Chain A
Amino acid sequence: MDNIAGQKSGLSIVVNITVVVLVLLWLLPTIGLFVSSFRDRDQISNSGWWQAPMAVDLNFRTRADTDDEREVNGSFVIEGNVFADPALASRFPDATGRVAAFGGRAVAPGEFTVGTTAELRSGALLTVMEDGSFRLEADESFGARGPLIYFEARTPPQFTLANYNTVLRADGMDRAFINTLTVTIPATVIPILIAAFAAYALAWMDFPGRGLLIAAVVGLLVVPLQLALVPLLSLHTSIGIGQSFLGIWLAHTGFGLPLAIYLLRNYMVGLPRDIIESAKVDGATDFQIFVRIILPLSFPALASFAIFQFLWTWNDLLVAKVFLPSGAASQVMTVKIADDLLGSRGGDWGILAGAAFVSLAVPLVVFFTMQRFLVRGLLAGSVK
């Protein structure tokens, strides 16, 4: 098969390169966020994720300790090491590092190169060496509070689970995770059964109006969800369900049914007629045929719909926003990220990336383990 379709080696290289480029384009954004979710949050905003394995120049500041002040030849001198500051111990555990540049003002923390002597605005002279040792010299005593020294230092790449820790413990993502599961599982299980019976009737039972009903299902397949929101929410409110888990289960069941019936019917119609007819001749009722023959044979179609419905309900934002109360107690992960985290922690990329991957983990696992069924379901629904 490799030689047909006029494959020339030159073309084949072009094809390979194009596919590599496309795959990278499709993969890089996800990898970017994934790598970032493990990075220290200061490092995220100071160097791109593609530089994650490299050291990062971060800005720090330390206050010169006036206890070390000495008087030398009529001027006052403080000597010390910027890395000795206990406040920076978490960054430089062994109190050593490499200074890249230094400065005396917060707006220009790296205006002077290491080894040079700079005059601060107070008139004091500051020298910082590469190993972090500094020397401050002034004509008058520094008083009780020493001046601030700003410096840029290389920090080794730090990979941490801190973002995940924060997201899961402090930001309530654990609760949202449970809520998402609570929404998803009943909303996946219930429509399957209802749809399977209906699909069997539409595929294998003869009754007037069957064609019309199938056409109606195909039509309902494309009814925009937006139409259902207002009337159903007021219906739920009037019968006492209101915004609740029960309401969202019912809503997802209703919205998932057309696809379920359509997929299952397409699959069941293709089952061999002989089996069903010989079972009927042997005296099996429709109920028995359905339970003993059709259901086991339709397992692939049932599985593919289950995956669809699972992914769709897990990833849904719209239905959850409308049919669930907006409080933290019943927020699902998509709502949590879109409304809560993006709003209040819009700049905190570590938290956002961690939260995103907590919500993506389950669908991605489902996707890669059950891709076979997913593809089969897609094909049953579309290719004629």
Chain B
Amino acid sequence: MHPVIQGVLTIVIGVGGCVGYFYFSNMILDKVIFPARETRPNRTIGLPVVFGLPTLALVLGYAGPLVLQALAGEASMISAVFAVAVTAMLAYYLLKFALWAFPVDTVSPGDNINRANKVRPWLFLFPAMFALGLYLAYPVVGSFWRSLFDRSGANFIGFGNYMDLFAGSSFRTAVFNNLMWVLVVPAMATFFGLLVAQLTDRLKWGNIAKSLIFMPMAISFVGASLIWKFVYSANPDIGIINATRDFFGMAPVDPVQIPFWNNFFLMFILVWIQTGFAMVILSAALRGIPEETIEAAIIDGANPFQVFFSIKVPQIMGTIVVVWTTITILVLKVFDIVYTMTGGNFGTHILPSYMMTYMFRDDGRATAVAFVIMILVLPVMIWNIRQANKEMR
């Protein structure tokens, strides 16, 4: 089947399936299982739907086949026992819930509506929770588990992959470079973003300037790398940097091959992309500063620099931190720039690009590198969750 037709079909099935799922599941809940006008939940349909079908699915689709395989010697006994235990536990809770939701006695008329409303949030949440669990939560565990095995995935080697990684110099270079990226890119992007946000604040053509500086946000990392490959080219007739050097009579250099400093040339590409993001958010924050505080400072005789550093920056500190952490997280994900510009040569590997050298070749190593990235992200993650909790209170 042609991919385009397949795509259209997927949209139709996906969207139709979503709408259908939400519509019919709500209808069944309100009309069939907990009919609002009745004084009793519909036990004959409710029990099989809530308890019977999921249990049957678990037995037929998960525990049953594993037990049969284990009996035939094709699967390990432990996994079969584990599957049976999980199935039994889930079935027990489902039954408990079903018996609570569908009592034999009559209940007051409002009770059915209340019960339906208690179930409904989970109907709304189910597809999202399923997808999040499968595509983001499970991989954290799955990757860690896989990283404890060797290349073939058959032999458990504990932290062997991690030991090998830390023993290798290329991995240490990648970690060191990555730490530099994490320090430099968010700092420079936030600095330039703040600078542009402040400078364009009262400029007549400020919006056009902001729009142009924001533009690299739309450009892919690959496209941006290509654009800068052109700028960095060692040929003075192509690269504007070497053209300038040529103009002053200096010999051409290849910026991406200068040891150590080449990392900074690569970092600047990401700074170039992310400055627009920082600028947009910081610019909105600057606009949100109460005018009175600035006026009071001016009346007290503060010069523009004092106004900026002593009045404005402290008031938007919270936003600056949010921008900083957001860019930090991004830095730990981007492998495209290093991959396109140098392929990790000349000592420019960072962890995400280093991981890709093992992808498809040694899954154990690849997942170990990925988990190291996860550990680096962890502090930011915890901080984010705490911030979010604080806001909700």
Q: Residues of A with Cβ closer than 8 Å to B?
A: 1-2, 4-7, 11, 15-16, 18-19, 22-23, 26-30, 32-33, 36, 44-50, 178-179, 181-182, 185-186, 189-190, 193-195, 197-198, 200-202, 205-207, 210-211, 213-232, 234-235, 245-246, 249-251, 253-255, 257-258, 261, 285-287, 290, 311, 314-318, 321-322, 330, 334, 337-338, 342, 349, 352-353, 356, 359-360, 363-364, 366-368, 371, 374-375, 378-379, 382-384
Contact = CB atoms under 8 A, between A and B. Distances in A.
A198 B129 contact: yes
Contacts of B222: 315, 317, 334, 337-338, 359
B304 interface: yes
B330 to A, nearest CB: 10
B44 interface: no
Interface of B: 3-4, 6-7, 10-11, 14-15, 18-19, 22-23, 26, 30, 117-118, 120-122, 124-125, 127-129, 131-132, 134-140, 142-143, 146, 192, 195-196, 199-200, 202-203, 206, 209, 211-223, 225-228, 230-231, 235-238, 240, 243, 272, 275, 277, 280-281, 284-285, 288, 291, 294-295, 298, 302-304, 307, 318-319, 322-323, 326, 329, 332-333, 335-336, 339-340, 352, 355-356, 359, 363, 366-367, 369-371, 373-374, 377, 380-381, 384-385, 387-389, 391-392
Given A6-B304, A22-B196, A227-B143, A182 B294 contact: no
B294 A4 contact: yes
A257 B128 contact: yes
> For the complex, would chain B's binding face be called helix, strand, loop or mixed by DSSP majority?
helix
Contact of B139 (A231, A245, A249): A231
B15 A330 contact: no
Contact of A46 (B142, B237, B284, B388): B237
Contacts of B243: 48, 50
Contacts of A22: 192, 195-196, 199, 209, 213
A360 B219 contact: yes
Given A15-B203, A234-B363, A286-B117, 9 more contacts: A22-B199, A29-B227, A185-B7, A201-B124, A224-B352, A226-B369, A287-B22, A317-B335, A378-B280
Please classify the interface of chain A as helix (H, G, I), strand (E, B), loop, or mixed, using the class held by over half of its residues.
Answer: helix
Contacts, number: 350
B217 A367 contact: yes
A244 to B, nearest CB: 9
B319 A349 contact: no
B34 to A, nearest CB: 12
B128 A338 contact: no
A315 B128 contact: no
Contacts of B318: 384
Interface centre among A222, A246, A349 (most CB of B within 10 A): A222
A224 B195 CA distance: 30
B336 to A, nearest CB: 5
A290 B23 CA distance: 11
Contact of B140 (A49, A227, A245, A246): A227
25 contacts: A28-B240, A48-B240, A178-B3, A181-B4, A190-B15, A190-B18, A198-B125, A205-B120, A207-B121, A219-B381, A223-B381, A230-B139, A246-B6, A249-B14, A255-B135, A287-B23, A317-B220, A318-B356, A322-B359, A356-B223, A359-B222, A360-B220, A367-B217, A384-B318, A384-B391
In the A-B complex, the 5 residue pairs with the smallest Cβ-Cβ separation, listed nearest first, are A254-B135, A315-B220, A231-B142, A198-B128, A367-B218
Contact of B202 (A2, A220, A317): A2
A214 B387 CA distance: 12
B319 A383 contact: yes
Given A182-B7, A228-B139, A30 B124 contact: no
A214 B302 CA distance: 43
Contacts of A18: 195, 199
Contacts of B319: 382-384
Given A190-B18, A227-B370, A257-B132, A207 B118 contact: yes
Contacts of B389: 211, 215
A311 B128 CA distance: 22
Contacts of A45: 235, 237-238
A219 B380 CA distance: 9
A219 B383 CA distance: 9
A182 B3 contact: yes
Given A6-B298, A254-B132, A382-B322, A371 B211 contact: yes
B113 to A, nearest CB: 10
A29 B142 CA distance: 42
B141 to A, nearest CB: 8
A198 B380 CA distance: 25
A87 B287 CA distance: 64
